[in-house]
Amino acid sequence: MYVRYASLHDIAGKLRNGELDLISYINDACDWIDKTEPIIEALLPERNRRKRLLLEAGLLLKKFPLPSTRPQLFGVLVGIKDLFNIDGFDTQAGSSLPPELFQGIESAVVTELKKQGALILGKTVSTEFAYFQPGPTSNPLNPNHTPGGSSSGSAAAVAAGFCPLAFGTQTIGSIIRPASYCGIAGFKPSFGRLSTSGVFPFSQSADHIGFMTQTLEDLTFASSVIIPGWKTLPHPEKAPIIGVPTGPFMEQADQETMASFLAHVMKLGDAGFEIVDLDLFPDIEDINSNHKKLIAYEFALNHTKLYSKYSNLYSVHSRKLYMEGTAISTQEHKNLVANQLRFRNHIEGIMDREGIDIWLCPSTIGRAPKGLASTGSPLMSLPWTHAGLPSLTIPLISEDNPLPLGLQVISRFNSDEFLFVCSRLLAKM
């Protein structure tokens, strides 16, 4: 029986020890995908997907016949966003451009996943060039709503039970937002913590590699396996002090989202957590504008050769961003990059002054919008991405609405492990 919504940790453990038969796991997963994928469209089409996976599974069993020798992700199916190069797969970056234009070395993350025994389920749908032009993917919780973007297919594949782990990228809110919309957990590590080698770039100064699972516990397990130098930290001696932004930044969220978020914060306060409210981003419009300029400049730089020949294949969204990027001077770009570090230092300086350990805010400005014409707003993630800080989202499920909201947790730069320790405490509330 396919454990389609089971824990990543449990699936991995049972595949390693042989309690879950790998061939049956593959066949049951493919049966479920054959039945559900025509509705969800989370994956790029692949002829003979089942045949390939069964062949790879057979080779894996021959290589690791003894459970004691099997790596951590032995046989686990993993979805990979269509920005990552994978040997044997085409990359199109969610676009209509010829795939040979994106050929290159295999993603370092994918190579490590294979080393850990993972089987690549396939490429997951991305918005065009990881920007705003949606693909065909719908939200598994309600196919009439968007799954979010740009890592649309990765979020939908996990939420639909196709795979227990999927990888994406985030340049504004492309992991946190779709994970939140689809009711799963998503993690964007500190900038640079996971290598972007072998991943088609949007913005070298803002691109983050991250991943999604069903639960926070599975994010923790995946992090310990995939992220170099990951350390298991003990529970903190005292409860973390929580910073909650107020002012213009939070006013971007809708009333329902804010009401749900503040009710949760009140619950945390009642449980004994110290809450510090302050207007962290009074200049959020300038922050949003600066980030948009930064990524537009680098988008245009990355697409110069492609756009000169294939501009007719670009969507209106991508063409507009390209033109915005070409209007920004090299000096302005240098200033924008330098401002990123100043911005991060500013946030962490406030944390020092106020004794704040982590930040909390909504993961999105609202629930997943109806329709597939838009992937929703990334603004609740933008300042944290701009600063390169680690962030994760865990679902806030409400009984009166099947479309969830998410709780976003943020910590200091390169304190990703501490972020998880604190988030596990919050998830118990």
The dihedrals phi and psi of 277, each to the nearest 5 degrees, come to: -95, 130
Alpha-carbon Rg for the chain, nearest whole angstrom, is 21
How many whole angstroms separate alpha carbon 206 and alpha carbon 83?
Answer: 15
Cβ atoms of 89 and 206 closer than 8 Å: no
Burial class (CB in 10 A: 0-12, 13-18, 19+), 360: buried
Which of 245, 231, 124 lies closest to 182, judged by CA?
A: 124
> Active site includes 311?
no
Which of 230, 185, 196 lies closest to 8, judged by CA?
A: 185
* Calculated CA dihedral for residues 55, 57, 63, 69, nearest 10 degrees: 180
Sign of the C-alpha dihedral computed for residues 162, 164, 168 and 174 taken in this order: positive
Element (H, E) at 363: none
Which of 158, 157, 154, 119 lies closest to 15, judged by CA?
A: 119
How many whole angstroms separate alpha carbon 363 and alpha carbon 366?
Answer: 8
How many whole angstroms separate alpha carbon 352 and alpha carbon 62?
Answer: 54
Other C-beta atoms lying within 10 Å of the C-beta of residue 118: 25
Give the active site residue among 14, 81, 114, 123: 81
Residues near 174 by beta carbon (within 8 Å), at least 6 away in sequence: 130, 148, 149, 150, 151, 168, 378
> Active site includes 377?
no
Question: Cα(first)–Cα(last) distance of the chain, in Å?
Answer: 33
The dihedrals phi and psi of 127, each to the nearest 5 degrees, come to: -65, 165
> Active site includes 289?
no
Give the active site residue among 152, 174, 190, 411: 174
How many whole angstroms separate alpha carbon 135 and alpha carbon 372?
Answer: 8
DSSP string of 120-131, one letter each residue: EEEEEP--GGGS
Give the active site residue among 107, 126, 150, 381: 150
How many whole angstroms separate alpha carbon 149 and alpha carbon 126?
Answer: 7
Active-site residue set: 81, 150, 174
